[in-house]
C-alpha cells in the first residue's frame, strides 16, 4: 500500500462491499422464511400434498433469492473489478 | 500466503476475422456441451424398440417428464415448444455441471451465455405477441391497466430478460467465487495451524502423531466411539504434516481444505445448477405460454 490514495481506495472497496452484501442479505432471508413457514403450515394441514408443496416452495425460494444474488454480484464487482 | 484472483473467462486466442472473435474457456465448454448432447441424442435415439428395455426406459421417462412439464405450464396446444424448452433445460444443467470437472469452466458462469438465452426468449415472446395480437395490439398492451402505467410496463418488460440472465449467472458464478474464497480461507487456516504446531521443532508433531495413532487403535477396540476415530485421524494427519514442516521438507500444505469444500459443492454446484436451470425453463414456459393463448380465444384458424 504505497500511497494514501490506494489506501483510501481499498478502504472504500471494503466498506462498499460490506454494506452492499450486508443490507442485501436481509430481504431474501425474511422473505424465504415467510414462504417456508406457510409451506410447513400447509403441509401440516394437508400431508398428502407435501411433495407438490415442497417443489413449489423450492421454486419460489429460487425466485425470491434473485435480489440477494444481485447484491452479491455488485459486492463482487466492487471488491474484485474496480 | 496466496491471494484471490477473480476474473472472467480466460481468452485462449483470437480469430482475426471481423475485428477479432475471441475463443474463451466458455466457448470451449459450450462446444463440448453441444457435442455431448448431440452424441447422447443420436446414441439414445437409435434402435428404439416397442417394448423398452434397459436405458430406453430411463430415456422415455425423462422425455415424458419434459412433455408433462410443458403441458402443465403451457397447455396442451403448446406441446410443439418442448424441443426448445428441453434444449435450454438440458444445456443449462450440463453447462453448470461441467464445471465440476477440474479443467473446464462452467458455461453458465459467463454472462454471455445466459444473456443470449434471455434475449432469445424475449425475442420469441415479442414475436409471438405480435403474431397473435398484431403490432398495434402489442403496443397497446403496454398501456394495459392505465395509460400512466406505460413507463413501468416498459421497464418491467426490459427487466424480465435482464433479471433472468442475472439470476442464472449470479447463482452459478457466485457459487464458484464463494467456493474459491472458502479454499483460500481454509488454506490460510491450515498455514496458521501448521505454523503453530511446527513452531518449536519436531517434538509437538511427533507427540500429536503418537496421540493420533493411539486414538485410532483405541477406537478400534471399543467400536461405539466413532468420535475417537475421527479425532485420531485428524490428529495424526496434523502431526505428519507438522513434522514435515518442522523438518523443512514441505511447508504450508493446505491440509484442512480436504473434505469441507466437497460437501459445500453439493449445494453450490449440483443443487443450485439444477434449481436454476429449472427456474429458467419454468419462467420461459410461463412467459411464452402467456404469449401463445389457446386457438379458440383468438378466433384464428390454426
pLDDT in tens, B158-176: 999 999 999 999 999 998 8
The CA distance from A45 to the nearest CA of chain B, in Å, is 25
Residue B222 in this model has a pLDDT that exceeds 80: no
C-alpha distance from residue B38 to each of A76, B41, B44 (Å): 36, 5, 10
The answer for residues whose C-beta is within 8 angstroms of residue B68's C-beta and 6 or more apart is: none
Same domain, B161 and B236: no
Q: Distance (Å) from the C-alpha of residue B166 to the closest C-alpha of chain A?
A: 7
Domain extent at residue B283: 11-46+56-175+258-298
Mark whether B157 and B115 lie in a shared domain. yes
Per the domain annotation, does B103 fall within a domain?
yes
Contact (CB<8Å) B174/A73 = yes
- For B163, the closest chain A residue by CA position comes to A66
**Poorest-confidence range of B38-42, B83-87, B229-233?**
B229-233
Whether residue B1 lies inside any domain: the answer is no
Residues B123 and B220 in one domain: no
Query: Comparing A33-37, B134-138, B246-250, which segment has the lowest mean pLDDT?
Result: B246-250
Say which CATH number the domain at A71 has.
Answer: 1.20.20.10
State how far residue B164 is from chain A, nearest Cα, in angstroms: 9
Do residue A65 and residue B6 have CB atoms under 8 angstroms apart?
Answer: no
- How many domains would you assign to chain A? 1
Q: Per-residue pLDDT averaged across B60-64, rounded?
A: 91
Q: Within this chain, do residues B147 and B36 fall inside the same structural domain, yes or no?
A: yes
Please give the pLDDT value at position B2.
Answer: 59
| Residue A52 lies in domain | 24-80
Total number of domains constituting chain B = 2
Residue B13 has what pLDDT? 74
Q: In this structure, are B33 and B153 located in the same domain?
A: yes
Say if A2 falls within a structural domain.
no
Range B242-271 average pLDDT: 82
Give yes or no: residues B132 and B231 share one domain: no
Q: What is the mean pLDDT of residues B245-268?
A: 81
pLDDT at A34: 95
Residues B71 and B215 in one domain: no
**Three-state secondary structure call for residue B16:** coil
More confident residue, B216 or A18: A18
Residue B124 has pLDDT above 70, yes or no: yes
- Asked if residue A15 is part of any domain, the answer here is no
pLDDT given for residue A71 in this prediction: 94
- Contact at CB, A63 and B279, closer than 8 angstroms: yes
- Supply the ipTM of this predicted assembly: 0.84
Cross-chain residue pair A70–B166, CB shorter than 8 Å: yes
Q: Please tell me the predicted confidence (pLDDT) of residue B300.
A: 52
Q: Which residues of chain B neighbour A81 with C-beta distances below 8 Å?
A: 6
Residue A7 belongs to some domain of the structure: no
Q: Can you tell me the mean pLDDT for B10-28?
A: 80
Q: Which residues contact B207 (CB under 8 A, 6 or more apart)?
A: B239
Whether B109 and B155 share a structural domain: yes
Average pLDDT, chain B: 85
Residue B197 inside a domain? The answer is: no
Contact B4 A80 (CB under 8 A): yes
Find, among B73, B87, B76, B167, the residue nearest to B120 by Cα: B87
How far apart CA B122 and CA B86 sit, in angstroms, is 17
- Please report which confidence band the pLDDT of residue B144 belongs to, taking 50, 70 and 90 as the band edges: confident
pLDDT of residue B1 exceeding 50, the answer is: no
Instruction: Check residues B180 and B1 and name the one with the higher pLDDT.
Output: B180
Give this prediction's pTM.
Answer: 0.85
Q: Is the pLDDT confidence value at B196 over 80?
A: yes
pLDDT at A72: 92
Beta pairing partners, B24: B11
> B148 and B93, same structural domain?
yes
Given an 8 Å threshold on Cβ–Cβ distance, is B171 in contact with A69?
Answer: yes
Chosen for mutation from A72, A77, A78 (greatest number of chain B CBs closer than 10 Å) is: A72
Enumerate the residues of chain B whose CB falls inside 8 A of the CB of residue A10: none
Query: For B18-27, B61-70, B99-108, which range has the lowest pLDDT when averaged over its residues?
Result: B18-27
B269 plus B131 within the same structural domain: yes
Q: B216 and B291, same structural domain?
A: no
Domain membership flag for residue B181 = no
C-alpha cell at A81: 473489478
CA angle, A13 as apex, A19 and B182 as ends, to 5°?
A: 80
Across B39-48, B211-220, B259-268, B286-295, least confident range: B211-220
Minimum distance, in Å, between the CA of residue A52 and any CA atom of chain B: 13
Residue pLDDT, tens place only, A13-44:
999 999 999 999 999 999 999 999 999 999 99
Is residue B18 very low, low, confident or very high in pLDDT (cuts 50, 70, 90)? confident
B236 and B159 fall within a common domain: no
Q: Which of B163, B171, B275 sits opposite A58 (nearest CB)?
A: B275
Cell 400512466, residue located: B148
Report how far residue B258's alpha carbon sits from residue B29's, in angstroms, rounded to the nearest whole number. Answer: 27
Amino acid at each position: 500500500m504505497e500511497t494514501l490514495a490506494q489506501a483510501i481506495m481499498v478502504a472504500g472497496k471494503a466498506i462498499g462491499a460490506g454494506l452492499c452484501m450486508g443490507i442485501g442479505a436481509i430481504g431474501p432471508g425474511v422473505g424465504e422464511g415467510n414462504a417456508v413457514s406457510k409451506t410447513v403450515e400447509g403441509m401440516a394441514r394437508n400431508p398428502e400434498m407435501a411433495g407438490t408443496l415442497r417443489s413449489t416452495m423450492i421454486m419460489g425460494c429460487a425466485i425470491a433469492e434473485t435480489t440477494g444474488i444481485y447484491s452479491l454480484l455488485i459486492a463482487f464487482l466492487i471488491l474484485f473489478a474496480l | 500466503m496466496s491471494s484471490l484472483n477473480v476474473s472472467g473467462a480466460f481468452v485462449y486466442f483470437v480469430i482475426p476475422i471481423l475485428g477479432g472473435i475471441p475463443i474463451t474457456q466458455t466457448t470451449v465448454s459450450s462446444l463440448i456441451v453441444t457435442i455431448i448432447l448431440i452424441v447422447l441424442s443420436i446414441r439414445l435415439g437409435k434402435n428404439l424398440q416397442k417394448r423398452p428395455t434397459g436405458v430406453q426406459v430411463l430415456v422415455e421417462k425423462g422425455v415424458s417428464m419434459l412433455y408433462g412439464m410443458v403441458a402443465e405450464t403451457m397447455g396442451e396446444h403448446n406441446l410443439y415448444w418442448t424441443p426448445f424448452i428441453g434444449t435450454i433445460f438440458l444445456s443449462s444443467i450440463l453447462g453448470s455441471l461441467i464445471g465440476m470437472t477440474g479443467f473446464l469452466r462452467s458455461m453458465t458462469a459467463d454472462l454471455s451465455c445466459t444473456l443470449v438465452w434471455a434475449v432469445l426468449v424475449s425475442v420469441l415472446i415479442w414475436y409471438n405477441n405480435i403474431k397473435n395480437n398484431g403490432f398495434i395490439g402489442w403496443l397497446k398492451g403496454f398501456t394495459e391497466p392505465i395509460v400512466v402505467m406505460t413507463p413501468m410496463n416498459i421497464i418491467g418488460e426490459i427487466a424480465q430478460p435482464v433479471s433472468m440472465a442475472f439470476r442464472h449467472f449470479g447463482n452459478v458464478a457466485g457459487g464458484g467465487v464463494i467456493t474459491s474464497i472458502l479454499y483460500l480461507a481454509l488454506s490460510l487456516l491450515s498455514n496458521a495451524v501448521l505454523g503453530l504446531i511446527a513452531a518449536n521443532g519436531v517434538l509437538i508433531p511427533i507427540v500429536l502423531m503418537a496421540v493420533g495413532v493411539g486414538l485410532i487403535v483405541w477406537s478400534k477396540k471399543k467400536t461405539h466411539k466413532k468420535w475417537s476415530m475421527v479425532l485420531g485421524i485428524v490428529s495424526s494427519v496434523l502431526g505428519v504434516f507438522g513434522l514435515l514442516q518442522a523438518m523443512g521438507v514441505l511447508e504450508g500444505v493446505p491440509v484442512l481444505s480436504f473434505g469441507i469444500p466437497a460437501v459445500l459443492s453439493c449445494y453450490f454446484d449440483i443443487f443450485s445448477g439444477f434449481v436454476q436451470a429449472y427456474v429458467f425453463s419454468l419462467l420461459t414456459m410461463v412467459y411464452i405460454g402467456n404469449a401463445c393463448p389457446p386457438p379458440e380465444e383468438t378466433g384464428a384458424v390454426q
